[in-house]
Structure 1
Amino acid sequence: MTPKFLKIFSSTIFSIILWVFVSFSYEYTTTLKFPIKFTDIKESYTILSQSANEINMTINGQGWALAQISSTTIKYFQIPTDKKVGYQSADVREALSTNSWINPSVQISIISPSVIDYSIERLKSKVVPILPDSQISIKNGYGVVSNIILNPDSIKIFGPQTLIKSIKYVFTDKIQLKNIDEDISLEIVLMPIKHFKFEKETTNIEFSVQKIVDKTFKSVPVIAENVPNLRTLELFPPNIDLTLRGGLENLGIMGIDSIKATVDFNNAFIDTLGRISPKISIPNFTTLTNVNPKTLKYIIKQN
């Protein structure tokens, strides 16, 4: 690097620094926008309403001071409250001193709005159920083989006492699950409600999906119920075969002890055809597709 190049480079850098210094020494006018944050609110109280959500300020000052305000990490305008319950008004100019991040060397020429109306109300809480807003489609040949579970299925909410009575439940964000062929465990966000806070912002939705198949259970015993002590109800045949449709994994571990087939003695006693149909109880998330035989012959004997 030649001495001539170093001289030119140094002169250029110095000129840029000088230009920046001179430019930032001039007076400028800018308009900035800041969201409002109320302070000094008592514990167990909350803001119910406010006439504006942000403040527009037209500021005059040197470039250095304006750049400092524009680059501040504080992104809100603080308004201290009166700590009283009910409707109140705040003069925004009176709140300028509370916002220490505003450089005292600048001049605030315009503030809009100049007055903020707001109301403070007591904070209440209650527990409400969560309702999923979901659209679920299952792949052909598969099915849901469990309850759809939300965990948690209810949530504690906090809000103004005049509004909390009207909140009966909280919805989740809308979710769409298409062509599902496997178990689902998914975290979903709760839909926010204006003026309210939630103990937790999410819930989990869980359910099981399996391939749907048929399985036949042979020789399921039929039990006679409500038989008097001095009577006997004999069935022909005493066992039945039946077919269930359900999830592949669920049916794979299911035995005949999961199924209950019964007949009621009283139905046989008043029957005039000589045949009765068994009542069959099957596990949840299965469907009975076939019973053989569908009716049973019987004999009532005196003991």
Structure 2
Amino acid sequence: MPELKSKILRLFRSKKLNMFLLFLLLAFSILILTKLSKTYTATLSFKVNAKHTNDTHVIVDAEAITLDVTLETYGFKWLTYAFKRPELDVNFENDISKKDSTIIWNTSKGFSSINNQFGKDVKVISINPEAVAFKFDVNDVKYVPIILDANIQYAQGYNTLDEIKTNPDSIKLIGPSSTLKDIQYIKTQKISLEDIKNNINQSLQLKLDSLNKTVKTNITRTNLSIKVSKFSEDIISLPIEIINIPKGKSINYFPKQVSLSYTTSLENYNNIANQDFKVVCNFEEAIDNSYLTPQIVKQPKDVKNTRLLQQKIEFIITE
């Protein structure tokens, strides 16, 4: 066994073997170069790009259409196609005809345009199919609201009087009407804000990944702005007004006043007065002819978290 191993090692160290392997490699390289230098004819499928389309038209599913092109070229060129195959531009300015909602591209009109895209060392033999139908839709414009996807938690004693919304609060969509009709809103990327004490001014990315490629937008981001203030709670006592009492009847009710709690910013605290609120009970909504439910029908815009501390007003009917 050691003797066999020794012979193999001597064989690989032999200059004759090394020369043989070198000539074998050169011969193989010459063979490959010879093969690649010859011309061959074959058919390949190419994806197409719609070029010079009318601004009012949107081509639907153009990426699914291919052209089978028979080519004659050198082996070197075929080798490049094996690694990367170009897309072919289809000219929608001159090489088409229209029929209803379909654009017809004809080989007879577009042959020279396709041929010019391959260069001088490639000969285009034929293109199939002879005619390709591209469906198109008319561009439409639609505005949809932007929905804020956020979890917002204020620090204790802090809040905002502003309506939380984005700026802008809507987005313009441009695309096929058949596609836009199913889009009702666009969401922002989800964010979580906790223990907020200071004003918020943050740019948010819109969720546009799910939109069809034929849909274009005027913006990709929106801004969230929140004015945060220190808040205080107050409790006031308000008289109750009874409405819709039947004619010829009167009622006696208790209590005559209810307590109402609310919160507002410290800067607005002194601007809030009792007369800014109004509480009524609707006699037509009396429950079991024994008690009424008070409702807040008027309150200033600069308050939040209003609630009545009494939910039942007892009454009796007096003739």
| Distance verdict in 2 for CA 1:78–1:133, change over 3 Å | farther
Task: State yes or no: 1:240 paired with 2:258.
Answer: yes
Change (3 A) 1:172 1:262: closer
Shift of 1:171: 2.5
Correspondence for 2:244 = 226
* Alpha carbons of structure 1 residues 53 and 254: separation in structure 2 relative to 1, 3 Å: farther
Query: How big is the shift at 1:125?
Result: 1.5
- TM-superposed CA distance for 1:210, in Å, is 3.7
Residue among 253, 263, 278 paired with 2:281? 263
Give percent identity, aligned residues only. 11
> What's the RMSD between the two structures over aligned residues?
5.0
- Per-residue CA deviations over 1:198-246 (Å, capped at 9, x if unaligned) read 3523464556464574522423121121134544445555333221246
Please name the residue that 1:121 is paired with.
Answer: 136
1:158 aligns with 2:175: yes
Structure-2 separation of matches of 1:208 and 1:231: 51
Cα distance between partner residues in 1 of 2:287 and 2:154: 48
Q: Which amino acid letter does the alignment assign opposite residue 218 of structure 1?
A: I
1:39 is matched with: 51
Determine which structure has more spread, i.e. the larger CA radius of gyration. Answer: 2
Matched, 1:176 2:191: yes
Distance 1:36 1:201, change over 3 A: farther
Q: Does residue 134 in structure 1 map to residue 146 in structure 2?
A: no
User: Which of 186, 200, 208 lines up with 1:191 in the alignment?
Assistant: 208
Residues matched between the structures, number: 244
Provide the C-alpha distance between the structure 2 equivalents of 1:301 and 1:94, rounded to a whole number of angstroms: 99
**In structure 2, the residue corresponding to 1:224 is in which secondary structure?**
strand
TM-score, normalised via structure 2 length: 0.53
| CA apart distance, 1:283 | 6.4
CA distance in 2, matches of 1:133, 1:288: 25
The residue aligned with 1:279 is 295
Aligned partner of residue 227 in structure 1, secondary structure: coil
Q: Distance in 2 between matches of 1:270 and 1:52?
A: 69
Contact (CA 8 Å) 2:115, 2:123: kept in 1 or not? Answer: no
Residue number among 190, 196, 200 corresponding to 2:218 in the alignment: 200
Deviation, 1:48, is 1.7
CA deviations on 1:113-149 (whole Å, 9 max, x unpaired) are 9999672413241525345362333243245654443
Change (3 A) 1:43 1:207: closer
Gaps of 5+ in 2: 1-46, 67-72, 75-86
TM-score (norm 1): 0.55
Residues 205 and 260 (structure 1 numbering): CA distance in 2 closer, same or farther, change over 3 Å? Answer: farther
SS in 2 for 1:169: coil
CA distance in 2 between partners of 1:169 and 1:205 (Å):
20
Contact 2:142 2:180 in 1 (8 A): no
Tell me how far apart the structure 2 counterparts of residues 249 and 83 of structure 1 sit (CA, whole Å). 69
Change over 3 Å in CA distance of 1:52–1:218 after alignment to 2: closer
State the Cα distance separating 1:53 from its structure 2 match. 10
In structure 1, how many angstroms separate the alpha carbons of the residues matched to 2:149 and 2:259? 39
